[in-house]
Amino acid sequence: MTICQFFLQGRCRFGDRCWNEHPRGGGGRPHSGPVRGAGGGWGAASQRYANVIQPPIFKHSTWGGSGDGGGFSGASDFGSPGNKSAVFSQNRFSALSSAHPADGFSDEEQRLLDCVAKDMATWESSGQWMFSCYSPEAGKPNVSGFREFSAEEVRLEYYNCSANNNTENYINSVNQLVQEWRNRLQELKALNASGKESLLSQLKNAVTQPLPSLGFGGQQASSFGFPSFPVSSSSSAASFSFKANPSVPPGNAAAVGSSAAASNPPTFGVTSSPSVPNPVGSGNSSAPSAASFSFKTSGTTSGCGTSGLSGFGSSAAANSSSTAPLPVSATPSAATGTSQSGASSASAAQTAGASGHNVTSAPSAVPNGIASDKLYTPRSELTAEELEQFEAKRFTLGKIPLKPPPIDLLYL
């Protein structure tokens, strides 16, 4: 077929109905053009085409100079682009898709990332309250790394501090928190590629588990990070666990999973250094430990949070050691870590003793109880390939398992 000249100029009025050929390769990335003698002509054509997308600056000179007729005549030259355009519908806007970033984010993801960047800029410039959680869109879970305090909590801190003449402590802590916030905000404003990946996986993974994300924001919540606070036994001390910076510093932005949950479950032991080596691993371990919590009544969650904080000091070592080997196993596929880390963090919590008791009994009970039902297949029944499919981020077409997934891989 003959190439439609108007299409190349971007003004074919027939569009898909056009009897002539609308070569798609012309608008594709330059390297996707046929590698041939006509390559030069193609290169010029694609450039021209790209020009057309903007309000047309149509230069006759370039058109003429590229050896027009030679480039476009002869259907045989266009065998492959012809095929290409047969495969893809004749799409005038293919040049636009070439504007698609090479890092391969879909439109939706790009939108979210842009939204995050814009919101960060607004947040910074607007003077609004800093200690707030954030999510780029209404239904999405919270982005990690932002600590949430209400104005009243901060104010109460101040009042308690000034009652003990400790205002410097307060000021320092607040400054520290502000610094953390600022760092995290800058990070999100200018995300690099890995940051984007982790952010997107955070938002996506946890989309399927909105409830747990609500449930777990809170582990770290009450810890305000006032180092020398235990001295003041006044009311707030019990609720505000003033240990040294319990939450993962926002530098660990890549922590996956629901908002603050990402930081705390692996770092129950407040005293341990919070930075978990492999962000992916830590993120995954947080999700399943979140999952393990979801089985029990959240009564014990609050128990964990408030009461036995000192008890967790002992579990810190256990926990962090349990999370350490995880990243190794987690690297093959993102979700692999889930069930294993769930079990190990459960066991780690068990060693802690304090409120770990309730925590572990539930998750251990549940898999036994439910796993044998028809709703879920126990792991033993799955082939290796099926297991791999379940554990992968996405199903590969043609390999989607027919059996239901094992319960321990689910976020409930």
The residues that touch another protein, with contacts defined as CB under 8 A, are 119, 122-123, 125-129, 131-139, 142, 148, 150-156, 158-159, 167, 170-171, 174, 210-211, 213-218, 221-222, 235-236, 238-239, 259-260, 297-299, 301-302, 305-306
The residue (of 259 and 344) whose beta carbon lies closer to another protein is 259
CB of 244 to another protein, least distance (A): 21
Q: How far apart are CA 147 and CA 183, in angstroms?
A: 12
Q: How far apart are CA 131 and CA 144, in angstroms?
A: 12
CB of 48 to another protein, least distance (A): 36
The residue (of 238 and 375) whose beta carbon lies closer to another protein is 238
Count CB atoms within 10 A of the CB of residue 151. 9
CB of 297 to another protein, least distance (A): 7
The residue (of 41 and 217) whose beta carbon lies closer to another protein is 217
Q: Which residues pair with 21 in a beta bridge?
A: 3
CB of 371 to another protein, least distance (A): 26
Count CB atoms within 10 A of the CB of residue 221. 18
CB of 160 to another protein, least distance (A): 9
Q: How far apart are CA 289 and CA 294, in angstroms?
A: 9
CA atoms within 13 A on the CB side of 142: 22
The residue (of 207 and 328) whose beta carbon lies closer to another protein is 207
Cβ-Cβ contacts under 8 Å for 94 (sequence gap 6 or more):
24, 26, 27, 28, 88
Helices 167-189 and 107-126 sit at what angle, rounded to 10 degrees?
140
The residue (of 33 and 308) whose beta carbon lies closer to another protein is 308
Phi (first) and psi of residue 21, to 5 degrees: -90, 135
CB of 335 to another protein, least distance (A): 23
The residue (of 66 and 259) whose beta carbon lies closer to another protein is 259
